[in-house]
Structure 1
Amino acid sequence: MKRKLAAGNWKMNGTASSLAELEALVSLHTAPSVDILICPPATLIAQAVGLCANSPIMIGAQDCHAAASGAHTGDISAPMLADVGAGAVILGHSERREDHNETSDLVAQKAVAAHAAGLIAVVCLGESLAQREGARTLDVITDQLSASLPDGTTGANTVIAYEPIWAIGTGLTPSLAQIGEVHDFIRSRLSERFGGQAAEDFRLLYGGSVKPENAAEIFATSNVDGALVGGASLKSADFSSIIKALEA
């Protein structure tokens, strides 16, 4: 039976002093009944891996390059992330798609690189407010899901996170019915491509203003297997509350 997943994305936040929050999280969750993933900025990955060496908490990254090495100044490859102990990498986050013009085809190339390096790819999907208001949400999800997942994708090497762009960091959250509709739709599309049993192996995360106050009701929604959490993952007390809601 697949384990649920609480994933934290620190984004471009955190210095060495911030690792005190990770230490606190480690002490709070010594034997969790769900998987826990923290993705700090690249500058903290090696230190975070060391802090979690004897903990069930996995450390991941927030992006990787599609190439294993080469003349790509400032970029970090999947093998480099694996080398310092990362176990996963977030790919296709809306902030990468929008700020860096990343396409779903590029996300798929990065996923291939992540898989080759033994990393779990956390592939993000989501629509803008204009797309939601234009009743295009499921069309957008269809296109992103189809183009972002390479052949060879499985529930073991890939997690899918639905993050409506208009809900990220805004305090706005879709209705439970809207969340359930998209998660059910993603599961059905996975079933069409990979087969029913294989589709059930994928963990589908919801992201977008997940907080301790709304976590329990979100986790009770159809086909929600966990969360990809932004701001609330920066504080151990807040993220711990979300983890406990997922364990309930």
Structure 2
Amino acid sequence: MANNIFGIILAGGQGTRMGNAERPKQFMEIGRKPIIVHTIEKFVIHSAFDRIIVLSPKAWISHTKDLIRKYIPDHSDIIVIPGGSTRNETIMNAIRYIEENFGLDDDTIIVTHDSVRPFVSHRMIEENIQAAVEYGACDTVIPASDTIVESQDHKFISSIPDRSAMYQGQTPQSFRAKKLRDIYAGLSSAEKEILTDACKILVLKGEKVHLVEGDVTNIKITYPSDIRMAEAIMGGK
């Protein structure tokens, strides 16, 4: 197994779709604990990580640190730093921090994960690490259960892709950090603007991204109805 493996928890978003202006969605509670705490706990119990880096909105850094101290007894390997203006800039902040504090080489692996996906499993994290080591990059996905309909003008169907080749992306997404950073640094401003996630950085440049099997329970908590779904999943565990 490679040395220098870092868990990267992406908590930089403000969660505006939740309709809760008081606090970002990652700090809302399910099962009597903040969502972000459930997520961090999944990484803390995995022994492969050298450090776990949590990227938080600047205004919420001290609150995030307080939560970690309150809920996670052994938190010495957890670091909280500011996120960036976009998802990928947040990841680059994490890579920059790793390089400045621990060094960065070709074998440094990052496992990036949404702070609002608290049901990530040990198996998913383990397979992400293995795939990143073996292939250089991977994405956690599930087969699309519904037919995917494309509409270029948002009014009429432009195509209906073959569902058997379609997958829904989840996280973790894991990478050799130096390669990801170097490719991202070479993108134009226009290319950076169309990126919705880190895997697209590599796909855009013809790099292979391996698939890791996710799970339908690995939901992203985005809307109020997702809180109820999360409570139901938690109740069944």
TM over 0.5: no
Structure with the bigger percentage of helix: 1
Which has the higher Rg, Structure 1 or Structure 2? Answer: 2
TM-score (norm 2): 0.32
> Relative contact order, CA 8 A, sep 6+: which one is greater?
2
Structure with the bigger percentage of strand: 2
